[in-house]
């Protein structure tokens, strides 16, 4: 059962704007999402009680009347662990959005644009060396904390800690938590947490990544390169994810859609070829979600594929225009 949240968020800064949004912030769609998860968690608490009662009843049948087999009783008991796992995800008070894709596809660039600041290391080649999680800071401070430590470090050091070119780089599966003032990004005020990742093509340890950083993600965003097409490495990653999550919540962003238009020889057939290329990207992405992963119908998959222009995105952000965030919540 899916609910569509079409979130229109103004990225305009300034105190006057923040005061005007204070009234609406509690009723924002993303806040409604958090409240809904809490209510669902209450329901699963009741379900857990029912399961416990059922287990006791099954045990009595097994010992007194020998009606229930040992295997059947064990199967019922296993449901408790499943309910616990669901509750662990639901009890979180934020929405975790994890970005994945091949090296240099623009994952960090997209997150920086949404944050309206160049916080995460980005550029050509392999740049992001570990997992970088950006979340809101309640006290207005900006700092980072590395995995296994409680020491606050300046945000500027993320350019060294998380950069692949740094000599003293962290392990690829390590997590660096970056705390950024909520007043600088309304998405953070709505308790959205962004997770940037190394390229899925730089390590064979995908299973470790998934177990450590993906099982509790609410949304997965695959950032693909519109100059090429979906690659086997990208598909393999989400095939692995789908084996551990029954129905992962995936969006596909085709980045660098404006690259082809920058080539002079392309202008003559710009309209025709762009239309054909767009259709090709759309078809392959929809087939991947609906036929390969089999997590959506073709119609639902079409609503999860986007092509965007990197330059246009930055112009919108720099001019304080409106950025639309479309998230499907299950």
pLDDT computed for residue 299 by the predictor = 94
Judged against a pLDDT cut of 50, whether residue 19 lies above it is answered with: no
The CA distance from 35 to 309, in Å, is: 34
DSSP 3-state of 86 = helix
pLDDT: which is higher, 329 or 82? 82
Q: What percent of the chain has pLDDT over 70?
A: 75
State mean pLDDT over 160-185. 74
Helix axes 107-115, 310-318, angle to 10 degrees: 20
189-248 per-position pLDDT tens digit = 888 999 998 888 777 777 787 888 888 888 999 999 888 888 888 999 899 888 888 788
pLDDT computed for residue 210 by the predictor = 82
104-120 per-position pLDDT tens digit = 888 888 898 888 888 88
pLDDT: which is higher, 126 or 269? 269
266-276 per-position pLDDT tens digit = 556 666 777 78
State mean pLDDT over 154-177. 69
Average pLDDT over all residues of the chain:
77
Its pTM stands at 0.72
What is the signed CA dihedral for 317, 186, 329, 220, rounded to 10 degrees? 60
Of the candidates 38, 33, 27, 26, the one whose C-alpha atom is nearest the C-alpha of residue 5 is 33
Residues 6+ apart with CB under 8 A from 186: 9, 10, 11, 21, 25
């Amino acid at each position: 059962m899916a609910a569509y949240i079409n979130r229109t968020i103004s990225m305009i800064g300034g105190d006057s704007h923040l005061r005007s949004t204070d009234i609406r912030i509690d009723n924002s769609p993303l806040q409604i999402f958090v409240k809904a998860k809490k209510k669902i968690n209450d329901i699963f608490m009741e379900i857990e009680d029912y399961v416990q009662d059922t287990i006791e009843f099954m045990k009595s049948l097994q010992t007194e009347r020998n009606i229930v087999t040992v295997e059947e009783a064990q199967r019922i008991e296993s449901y408790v662990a499943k309910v616990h796992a669901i509750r662990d995800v639901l009890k979180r008070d934020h929405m975790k959005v994890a970005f994945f894709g091949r090296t240099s596809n623009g994952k960090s660039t997209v997150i920086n644009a949404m944050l309206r600041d160049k916080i995460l290391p980005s550029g050509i080649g392999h740049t992001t060396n570990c997992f970088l999680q950006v979340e809101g800071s309640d006290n207005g401070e900006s700092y980072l904390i590395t995995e296994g430590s409680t020491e606050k470090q300046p945000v500027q050091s993320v350019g060294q800690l998380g950069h692949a070119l740094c000599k003293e780089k962290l392990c690829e599966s390590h997590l660096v938590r970056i705390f950024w003032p909520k007043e600088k990004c309304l998405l953070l005020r709505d308790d959205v947490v962004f997770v940037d990742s190394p390229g899925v093509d730089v390590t064979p340890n995908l299973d470790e990544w998934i177990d450590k950083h993906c099982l509790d993600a609410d949304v997965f965003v695959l950032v693909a390169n519109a100059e090429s097409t979906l690659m086997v490495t990208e598909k393999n990653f989400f095939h692995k994810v789908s084996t551990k999550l029954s129905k992962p919540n995936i969006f596909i962003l085709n980045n660098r859609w404006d690259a082809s238009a920058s080539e002079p020889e392309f202008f003559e057939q710009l309209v025709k070829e762009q239309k054909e290329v767009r259709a090709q990207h759309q078809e392959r992405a929809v087939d991947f979600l609906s036929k390969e992963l089999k997590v959506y119908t073709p119609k639902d998959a079409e609503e999860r594929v986007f092509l965007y222009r990197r330059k246009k995105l930055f112009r919108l952000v720099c001019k304080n225009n409106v950025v639309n965030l479309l998230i499907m919540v299950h």
